[in-house]
A and B are shown apart, each in its own frame.
Chain A
Amino acid sequence: MKAKVYVNLKSGVLDPQGKAIQHSVELLGFSGISDVRQGKYFEISLDETMDNERALESIEKMAREVLSNPIIEDYRVEIEA
């Protein structure tokens, strides 16, 4: 079983890295881009003995307390069988 955690800066938080990436890809000729936001992605392998519900609960807690900083970031958790 695998958990996937996506962490992104909240919408109001300035993302200078995303801005720099946007600027570069536009220079390279990619058009029609209105915004780039850079985030983090975690893949967490889980013990086979873990059931779905417990896994979700545990990974949600990890995402909230460690992987993201709730002051500046939002997170999303997906559990994959």
Chain B
Amino acid sequence: MKFGVIVFPGSNCDHDAYHVISKHVGQPVDFIWHRETDLSTYDAVILPGGFSYGDYLRAGALARFSPVMNSVKKFAQSGRFVLGICNGFQILCEAGLLPGALIRNRDLHFICEHIYARVETSDSPFTNELTRGTVLRIPIAHAEGNYICDDNTLAELQREDRIVFRYCEKDGTVTDAANPNGSRDNIAGICNRERNVLGLMPHPERACEDLLGSSDGRDIFRSLAATVAAAV
């Protein structure tokens, strides 16, 4: 089993992701520079958070044209696992690997705080070790996390059980007050139709150690590792 963390110019959560895979998942992991195109030795890749290309034009818009992204598309089409966190989620949307877009937060602020996110489905490689309805305390850190999509896409996401995380209150109730950025339907994370690509705005890699205020993010990586172990 081998993980890769893709490094774009401006990625800044790449080391956090690497740390979590090597220390908590206990598996081999490489940094993959965005000019690489060979992903053949990997089972799962992570598109980390940060500000790829300085967020110029639109968050994630320019990273989509990095050479590695063609390989990421083929990697996803081959059924292997892709996890996009924060800026990684924005890149996956811009690249068309996930539907919708992430626009400016409704109140314009860059928000950096712990939020509560409810697991909406355990039918995904990233949440199969979690029970539906579990509330995770995970930090967010973004200015463009306001998930938007058209009515048809939203209906499709709901019908196909592809909303993986929703922002919620501590007790798990989904309310507008618990929605930090104005995301449609309180969406914090979604997966593709084949369920092997997940994008989420919260940072589970920053919530894997009690010392950092929460270790709720570990179950997401544990799920992914268990899925990969079963697949290889």
Contacts and interface: CB of A to CB of B under 8 A. Distances in A.
Interface of A: 9, 13-14, 16-17, 20, 66-67, 69, 71-72
A62 to B, nearest CB: 12
Given A13-B148, A14-B182, A67 B104 contact: no
24 contacts: A9-B103, A13-B103, A13-B148, A14-B106, A14-B146, A14-B148, A14-B182, A16-B104, A16-B105, A16-B106, A16-B108, A16-B182, A17-B104, A17-B108, A20-B108, A66-B57, A66-B65, A67-B57, A69-B101, A71-B93, A71-B148, A71-B150, A72-B101, A72-B148
B101 A16 contact: no
B10 interface: no
Contact of B58 (A14, A16, A17, A69): A69
A5 to B, nearest CB: 12
A71 B101 contact: yes
Contacts of A17: 104, 108
A10 to B, nearest CB: 10
B30 interface: no
Interface string B20-64: 000000000000000000000000000000000000011001000
Interface in B78-137: 93-94, 99-101, 103-108
A71 B65 CA distance: 18
Contacts of A14: 103, 106, 146, 148, 182
Interface residues of B, number: 20
Contacts of B58: 69
B155 interface: no
A28 to B, nearest CB: 18
B1 interface: no
Given A16-B105, A20-B108, A71-B101, 4 more contacts: A16-B182, A17-B104, A66-B57, A72-B103
B149 interface: yes
B61 A66 contact: yes
A34 to B, nearest CB: 20
Interface string B63-85: 00100000000000000000000
